[in-house]
Structures are given as structure tokens and as C-alpha cells.
Structure 1
Amino acid sequence: MLLDAQTLSRLQGVKLRARAVMEGVLSGLHKSPHQGQSVEFAEHKEYAPGDELRHLDWKAYGKFDKYYVKRFEHETNLRAVMVVDASASMGYQSTALSKLEVAKTLAGALCYLLVRQQDAAGLAVMTEGRFRDVPPRASAGHLNVLLDALEEATAKGGTQLVSAADHLAEVLPRRSSVVILSDFLDEDPTALKRILALRQRKNDVAVFHLVDPAELTFPFDDPTLFLDMEGDGRVEVNPREIKESYLEEFGAFLNGVKSACAEADVDYELVRTDERLDEVLLRFLGKRGRRR
């Protein structure tokens, strides 16, 4: 099956879309020359003060010039939490799927993959400053709870990444893997730094940055009324007069998020909502595998 956005939009609900993407990922991994690649985020972790020095992996140090600590079998069962931004701006769409629908599908596919390999998957959906938490578990029955919670998420309210950072700092188990799916359109200039600070708490953090193709290309010609999806603002402009400056500003915004993630040692994945989502996840897993 081709897993482009148009095809996925014909599948009703998160469960079917996420399962289709998961099967596409498994098929892609099977064909990959890198056998053994999986959704696992790491078999080693970077050394942190307090870790046992006798567990340092000197071969890894020789290869990467960084200190890594071996994780033993009882430690390698992953606890991963999908953090889905369900603010109003995530409801924007110019193609078959909205940013939120893509985020929910990616989160659902990762939950499928994690539970399949007996790792614990959890969820935090943030809407209007409130949170729907599903604690990490590894059972097959728990997968339905996660997918049902994703299904119920709707786009509304403002983006509040600072509240999300504070909430996650309270509820996340230590040394969790955290996957944040958002468009990061937050008016608070400290928001991105605050959410990325979860990495400093010894969590493994990855970012899926959701963008709509129209946000990247600004394909408007005639006078257009633009509405603020998270407030009351509205402005009518001639798009041809502002296109160049808009594209420059939006490009700077994207580069800023990517650079902040790199500085925080957080994996960054830019996701267009018209992309094949199995290819997005294969790209992501490939990067994780190379890091490992």
C-alpha cells in the first residue's frame, strides 16, 4: 500500500492509519541492509555523574570520543512517552491530513512498534493547558487505551509548551524516552528552551516538528483574510507583498527550532504533512541506529 497522505486520509481513525504506517515501517526495516535495526532508542546511554565507572564501554569511547555506559538486559526495556500537541494551530491543513492527524498517526505507529517489542509506551496529550496522561505500560491491551486516547484528541486552545514542560517534569519516570510532536508555534519566547530542558533531566528526547506544505511555500496570490487559529487576530493582506518576508521569517523559525534541538542534544525530525509517514519513521529510526 502507498502510504501517502491522500491514501491515509481514506482510512478512518487513528488505529487503522497507525497500523498501516507501522506495517510499512516493518516492511522497510525488513528490506533494510542494516539488519537488527528497531525502534529501540539506545543500547548504551551517555555517561552522567553518578553512573558506575566500571560499566563504561571503552570501545564506544574509542569510536565516538564520548563516554557511554552499557545498559544491561533488565535496563533496556524502554519507557517511552508520546507528547502530542493538540492546540488549535495543529488543526491547520491545506492537504489531506492536518498537522494533528499526522502527529496522532505517528504517535500511534510508534506505540504499535514499542508494544510489539515489549517496551512500555505512554501518552500525554496537551490541549488548552490541560493534559490527558496515559502512563507507560507494555501490554497489548494497553495499546488500545493509547490509541483510543489519541482518537479523542481534537485541536483547540493555545499552544502552552511551558505548561507542558512543567507537567512532564512532574509525571515522567526518570530516564524516559520522550517524543514530542508539535508545530512549536508558541508565543512564549522561552517555551522551546523549557520543553527541551527535559533532556537535562536525563531523559532521551526526540522532536517531530509538524509543518503543513502551505506554511513552507505560502501559495497564496489574491487578497486573503488570515485568521489566528489560537486567538482573535485577523488581518487581510496582499500575499504577494509579504511572501518574501514571510518565507524568510518562517525559515528562520524552522532553523531556530532545529538549532535549539541540536544544542540540547535532542533528535530533530521535520515532518511535512504530505510526506509518507512510514518513510518519516524509517528516516528517524535510521538516525537513531547510527547514533547507537
Structure 2
Amino acid sequence: MEFKLTDYKNYLNPSIIPRINNLELRARLVVEGFMVGLHKSPYHGFSVEFSEHRPYMQGDDLKNVDWRVFGKTEKYFIKQYEEETNLKAYIVIDCSKSMSFSSRKDYNKLEYAKTLAAALSYLLIRQQDAAGLITYSDSVKKYLPPKASRSYLHQILFELSQISASDKTNTSESLSKVAEKIKKRGLVIIISDFFDDIEKTIKALKHFSYMKNEVIVFQILDPMERTFGFGKDAIFVDLETEEQMATQPYQIQKAYQQAMNDFTDKIKRECLNSNFDYTLIDTSTPFDKALFSYIQKRKRLY
């Protein structure tokens, strides 16, 4: 599949990008499409700069001066290392079976979440920030602490590529365990459908605020989970319990939509009350919406 720079919207299109098997290439294309899109409507005038250097300051060790950059610019710049990173970010992904749902054949919620997490990791490390990865379902499955090196990005992307949806959801207990693992204040990015006990989930989310972490919540849903627009008689199967229920979707669609709106509104309201950023995204949404939410949060932090 070949893209041209002028086709930047294709880089952000969730119906196109998941066709690319290589997750690193996926992440790079999404970020490149995002960067081009920042210079076009609706983000005109908004920009973000990446740098692996900072200007020389009095007292800096001359051995850290990048002399190649000096040769090109006649200005002194210091190479930045991991300990000089601005931010430690923990990307937390729900990989329970409910994340495998899809109303289309080509990708599901988990694939969308993996692509988003890969792009965020790519952005973070390009900005000299540290990125880490945590996955969970009924318990915490994988924990990679934040680091800022380019080589570490490959490890994160490899782990993301290995994720598959499995087990039941225990969001509240898992997030509580994640909060215990975070010893230093940082940015926590949580990607989940949040299909679990809502009261327990909200209580668990608040654990991150006790440590004064900055939090971004991405609630990922399939479009059909929002609209229930199936239209004909169907048998629904719970992906986690395999429990089945026969129903006529059109008869309960209005009540379902109201219940779903109440569910997402409650999560949003509780997040805002805790000063968390909340973004509701379905899997048809271009990736720039989520990346822009992250960029806005980062700019508020610095």
C-alpha cells in the first residue's frame, strides 16, 4: 500500500491503517498524517515541534555538545538523554475479550487501541518523553516501565503486536494494581471500553489522582455499541461469559441508546470531576482526534 503526502487523511483513517500488518509502520504513518493535518483545518496555526537537543546553557559539560549540529548551524546544542526527559507516560490498555468486538470484518476495538497506543508511544519518544506500556484484562498482564530511548520504542511496539483479547474484564482491580506500580508522578493514558462495574471502575480511576498523576481516558467503542442499529432479529453472545440472549434490536434500540448515553455520560462526568481528560471515540473515528487530545494535554502540562 502506497501513500502520498497529499493523502495525509489516509494515514489517519481507521479503515485503511489497520490493513498494514507492521505496527511500527502503522504508528509512523499515523503520526506523519497527524503532523501534516496539524497545518490544515481545523487545527490551523497549531504546531508541535520535536527535538532531541536543547540550547547550550552555561555550566553544561562541553562533552555533550553536538558538534555536528554546530558545524551546520554555528550554534551550540546539547544532546538530551533519558534522564532529561520531560514526562513519564504510562499507556494502559484493556485487552479483555470485550475489546474483540467488531461490527465490521477488518478490525476491532483492540486493534484500534493498539494502533492508537503505538502512535502515542511514537509521539512521546520523538518528543524526548518516556513511554511505558501496561496491559490488563482480569489482572495486570504486562508492565513495561517508561523509558525514552528509540530502541525501547521497538520493545513497546513488539509487545503491542503480541496482544490478543482474552479473559474477562476486571477493570477496577487491575487499575488499582496499576496505580500501585506508579511510584512517581506522571501521565497515565487509559484505553478501554470500560464495560465493567461502573461504580468500582470510577473508584479505581480516582486512585491515580491520589498520586497527583495527570490522566487521559480514551473510551473506545464500536459504532454499533453506540447506536444498536442492528435492525433485525438477532442472538447476542457475551464475549466474556458466552451467555446468549435472543432479541429484536429495533424494539429496544431507543432504550439501549439512552442506557448507553447514561453510561458514557457518567464516566465523562466523573472524569471531569477528577480533572481527568476524557475522550469518547468509536472505531470509525480518525486517529487525529485522539492524538490531538494528547497534544492539548501535554501543552497544558508545560
Question: For this structure pair, what is the TM-score category when the shorter chain's length is used for normalisation?
Answer: 0.7 to 0.9
Given the alignment of the two structures, is residue 266 of structure 1 paired with residue 276 of structure 2, yes or no? yes
Q: Report deviation, 1:18.
A: 1.6
What TM-score do you get using the length of structure 1 for normalisation?
0.82
In structure 1, the residue matched to 2:56 is none
Deviation for aligned residue 1:148: 0.6
* Alpha-carbon displacement from aligned partner over 1:152-206 (angstroms, at most 9, x marks no partner): 1111111111222222122113211100000000136312221232122111111
Match of 1:232 in 2: 242
Inter-partner Cα distance in structure 1 for 2:171 and 2:101: 18
Residue 204 of structure 1 is matched in structure 2 by 214
Distance across 2 between alignment mates of 1:186 and 1:232: 16
- 1:1-150 equivalent positions in 2, closer than 5 A: 1=7, 2=10, 3-31=12-40, 32-37=43-48, 77-95=86-104, 96-150=106-160
Amino acid paired to 2:214? D
Q: Give distance in 1, aligned partners of 2:23 and 2:165.
A: 15
Q: CA deviation at 1:284?
A: 4.2
Using CA pairs under 8 Å that are at least 6 residues apart, name the structure with larger relative contact order, 1 or 2.
1
Report if aligned partners of 1:118, 1:138 keep a CA contact under 8 Å in 2.
Answer: yes
Structure 1 distance, partners of 2:134, 2:241, is 24
Higher mean C-alpha deviation, range 121-130 or range 145-154? 121-130
Q: What letter is aligned with 1:193?
A: K
Deviation at 1:278, TM superposition (A): 2.3
Change (3 A) 1:18 1:99: same
* 2:38 aligned counterpart, secondary structure: helix
Q: Contact 1:196/1:266 (CA < 8 Å) preserved in 2?
A: no
Q: Is the 8 A contact 1:86 1:125 kept in 2?
A: yes
List alignment gaps of at least 5 residues for structure 1.
Answer: 40-73
Correspondence for 2:292:
282
Among candidates 160, 170, 176, match of residue 170 of structure 2: 160
Larger radius of gyration: 2
Any stretches of 5+ residues in structure 2 without a counterpart?
1-6, 51-82
1:214 corresponds, among 205, 215, 224, to: 224
CA RMSD of aligned residues (A): 2.1
Report the TM-score when normalising by structure 2: 0.79
Q: What amino acid maps onto 1:4 in structure 2?
A: N
Question: Contact 2:173–2:204 (CA<8 Å) still a contact in 1?
Answer: no
Distance in 2 (alpha carbons) for counterparts of 1:117 and 1:8 = 23
CA distance in 1 between counterparts of 2:261 and 2:164 reads 27
- Paired AA for residue 37 in structure 2: G
Identity of aligned residues (%): 36
Shift of 1:275: 1.2
Q: Distance in 2 between matches of 1:187 and 1:126?
A: 16
Deviation string 1:9-51 (CA, Å, 9 cap, x unpaired) is: 2211422222211111222335554455469xxxxxxxxxxxx
Q: Does 1:254 align with 2:268?
A: no
Q: How many residues align?
A: 258
Asked if the contact 2:227/2:257 (under 8 Å) is kept, the reply is yes
Counterpart CA distance in 1 for 2:220 and 2:49 is: 23
Q: Against the structure 1 CA distance between its residues 198 and 26, is the aligned structure 2 distance closer, same or farther, given a 3 Å change threshold?
A: same
Residue 171 of structure 1 corresponds to which residue in structure 2? 181
Q: Does the CA contact (< 8 Å) of 1:227 and 1:234 recur in 2?
A: yes
